[in-house]
């Protein structure tokens, strides 16, 4: 039986008398899926992410992450749940003037004790783990290169390395390829697919490029004006159908 990792049931979101998500917004995403969310700017794609992370609280309806109603859980329970979620955005959250390795240590959580955390001190095993992940992502040779000397695609790989070191189970990616050229966009999505298949990480990506959505993902969700138009297996859709829905 498929396990729900994300569930929105009869959700609506209204802010200042304006509906961002309309009534009876229903969405279920199963564990292990790689899902594209498509739609024009302002359609509601990012709003869904903000509801899943409790940035917005729905006007009504049920929101579940990993089977837990996030509107009813304690702060401690929420902290444990949100640890399982990783985020990618259009612009990587990195310090340009510092190298890749130092950026990763800044986001590292599992320090040996408070003293190690205060001074960003890693154990030998932790350093080895970081280098193994960078090697897996094909940027080991960039470990001590400043971030502002990396390409956009390489910077996104550093962000993905940070997620892998946190052992996330779900990645929410908000337009991670919008500032990249076609080759780097392909590379980043191929990398997310690899993590999805090899590590069973569920991936949800807001994306504008319909061709990439059809090529790289298991399922597509099309949103327009705060409503879901279709949530379907990618194999059952084509470019003409998607464009017709969204126009």
- The burial of 244, by beta-carbon neighbours within 10 Å (0-12 exposed, 13-18 middle, 19 or more buried), is given as exposed
* 39-96 tens-digit pLDDT: 988 888 899 999 999 999 888 999 999 999 999 999 999 999 999 999 998 888 999 9
Domain ranges across the chain? 4-246
How many Cβ atoms sit within 10 Å of the Cβ of residue 191?
17
- The CATH code for residues 4-246 is 3.40.50.300
Closest CA to 93 of 85, 82, 104: 104
Which two structure tokens, joined as six digits, stand for 247?
A: 């126009």
Residues 5-42: pLDDT tens digits? 999 999 988 888 777 777 688 999 999 999 999 998 88
Closest CA to 73 of 60, 62, 84: 62
User: pLDDT category, 161, cuts 50, 70, 90?
Assistant: very high
SS (H, E, C) the chain: CCCEEEEEEEEEEEECCEEEEEEEEEEEEECCCEEEEECCCCCCHHHHHHHHCCCCCCCEEEEEECCEECCCCCHHHHHHHHCCEEEECCCCCCCCCCEHHHHHHHHCCCCCCHHHHHCCCCCHHHHHHHHHHHHHCCCHHHCCCEHHHCCHHHHHHHHHHHHHHCCCCEEEEECCCCCCCHHHHHHHHHHHHHHHHHHCCEEEEECCCHHHHHHHCCEEEEEECCEEEEEEEHHHCCHHHHHHHHC
Instruction: Give the burial class of 108: count Cβ atoms within 10 A of its Cβ; 0-12 exposed, 13-18 middle, 19 or more buried.
Output: middle
Instruction: Give the pLDDT of residue 209.
Output: 94
Share of the chain above pLDDT 70, in %: 98
- Token match 């194999």: residue? 235
* Dihedral angle computed from the Cα positions of residues 82, 147, 101 and 158, in that order, rounded to the nearest 10 degrees: 40
**What's the farthest any 2 CA atoms get from each other in the chain?**
58
**Does the pLDDT value for residue 193 go beyond 90?**
yes
Q: What is the chain's Cα-based Rg?
A: 19
Looking only at the bridges linking them, the beta strands covering 170-174 and 85-88 are parallel
Are 110 and 117 within 8 A, CB to CB?
no
Q: What is the pLDDT of residues 92-119, one digit of tens each?
A: 899 999 999 999 988 877 778 888 888 8
Q: Is the CB of residue 72 less than 8 Å from the CB of residue 64?
A: no
């Amino acid at each position: 039986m498929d396990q729900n990792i994300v569930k929105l049931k009869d959700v609506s979101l209204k802010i200042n008398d304006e509906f961002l998500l309309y009534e009876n917004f229903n969405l279920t995403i199963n564990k292990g899926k790689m899902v594209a969310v498509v739609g024009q700017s302002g359609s509601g794609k990012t709003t869904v992410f903000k509801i899943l992370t409790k940035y917005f609280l729905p006007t009504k309806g049920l929101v579940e992450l990993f089977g837990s109603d996030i509107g009813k859980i304690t702060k401690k329970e929420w902290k444990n749940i949100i640890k399982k979620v990783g985020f990618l955005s259009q612009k990587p959250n990195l310090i340009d003037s510092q190298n890749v390795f130092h950026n990763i240590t800044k986001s590292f959580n599992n320090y040996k004790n408070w003293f190690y955390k205060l001074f960003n001190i890693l154990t030998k095993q932790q350093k080895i783990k970081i280098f193994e992940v960078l090697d897996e992502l094909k940027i080991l040779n960039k470990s001590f290169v400043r971030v502002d000397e990396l390409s956009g695609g390489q910077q996104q790989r550093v962000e993905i390395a940070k997620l892998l070191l946190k052992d996330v189970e779900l990645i929410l990616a908000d337009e991670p390829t919008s500032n990249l050229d076609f080759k780097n966009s392909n590379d980043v999505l191929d990398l997310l697919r690899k993590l999805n298949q090899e590590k069973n990480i569920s991936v949800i990506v807001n994306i504008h490029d319909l061709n990439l959505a059809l090529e790289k993902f298991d399922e597509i969700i099309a949103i327009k004006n705060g409503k879901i138009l279709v949530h379907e297996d990618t194999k059952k859709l084509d470019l003409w159908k998607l464009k017709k829905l969204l126009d």
